[in-house]
Amino acid sequence: MATASTVLALFQGIATNKDVKANLSKMREQTIKAKEAGASIIVFPELFLTGYYLTAEEMRDVAQPNTGEAFQELSALAKETGVAILYGYPERVISEDGFKCYNSAQLIDKEGQSILNHRKVHLWIDDEGYRWEDVFTPAENFSEIVECCGFKIGVLICYDVEFPEAVRTLVLRGANLILVPTAVADQWIRPLVEHVIPARAYENRVHVAYVNNTGSRFDGKSVCCNENGETIASAGEGEEMVMATVTLSGAKSWHVRDRRPALYEK
């Protein structure tokens, strides 16, 4: 059976709140470094375009449509470098229902085309009562699976991956690589990178790249796990980029094969 292999660049960085220009400059710098290191795809953290802890008003002020100025700049960068780019950003949508803001992640292929735009489904309420539903609208479905760099890619954002059903949904749609921009504080990150992410990879026989913010309240420790749930790349707590070579074996998950959905529906 033919195998596919590609190199991912996982950049866990410190975004400057409300300074899109500064964050785009850092994304350019890191994408060029990723190209020089042989990467085909670079993954940036959740809401990296704008910074994370903003008020609802601040987030709406810096939100952009998925075809906005930031996309145009990153599209040109992807074409220039030949590196696909996944980045987190607040997405502005104006429709008949009025203004909405989504916590989104967009994947741009090496030709500069937007091929996937996932809107976060599960919104977190933290211990201090910070309600993301006061800032964002939760999406009502998952993004489609797309082919890129030899893989069938699905995207989740942060809290989404903590629900087994979310990962299983993407795998049942054909995903063999799941990319997860995230923003997790230090008290939560260890069980996630040591247990949850490896379990999601193992039980679905799928690669999972989990890319965290760092600095301020965030603790880095980004990881990439292979189809066996083994960690093949990991970062420390500071700002850095780590490389992960993912290779598709073609093996199927027995957990997917042996499902009994009729029982679960009961």
What domains lie within the chain, and their CATH numbers?
4-256 (3.60.110.10)
Res 128: pLDDT: 60
Whether 191 contacts 198, CB under 8 Å: no
Reported as a single tens digit per residue, the pLDDT across 66-94 is 999 999 999 999 999 999 999 999 999 98
Q: Tell if the pTM clears 0.85, that is, is over it.
A: yes
Q: Give dist(CA 198, CA 207) in Å, integer.
A: 9
Name the residue with higher pLDDT: 188 or 128. 188
Residues with a known catalytic role: 46, 120, 158
Whether 96 contacts 123, CB under 8 Å: no
Cα 264 from chain centre:
28
Rounded to the nearest integer, the mean pLDDT of the chain is 93
Mean pLDDT of 3-22: 95
Give 220-225 contacts, CB < 8 A, sequence gap 24+.
220/12, 220/189, 221/12, 221/189, 221/190, 221/193, 222/10, 222/12, 222/193, 223/193, 223/197, 224/8, 224/10, 225/197, 225/198, 225/200, 225/201
Q: Is residue 127 over pLDDT 90?
A: no
Res 168: pLDDT: 96
Phi/psi at 247 (5° precision): -125, 130
| Confidence grade of residue 2 (pLDDT, cut at 50, 70, 90) | low
- 198 Cβ neighbours under 8 A, 6+ residues apart: 225, 229, 230, 231
- How much of the chain exceeds pLDDT 70, in percent? 97
Q: Is residue 126 over pLDDT 70?
A: no
- CA-angle at 177, arms to 265 and 214, nearest 5°: 105
Res 180: pLDDT: 98
Res 1: pLDDT: 42
Q: Is residue 101 over pLDDT 80?
A: yes
Name the residue with higher pLDDT: 32 or 4. 32
Res 266: pLDDT: 78
Res 254: pLDDT: 83
Mean pLDDT of 149-155: 97
Reported as a single tens digit per residue, the pLDDT across 202-261 is 999 999 999 999 988 898 999 999 999 999 999 999 999 999 999 988 777 788 889 898
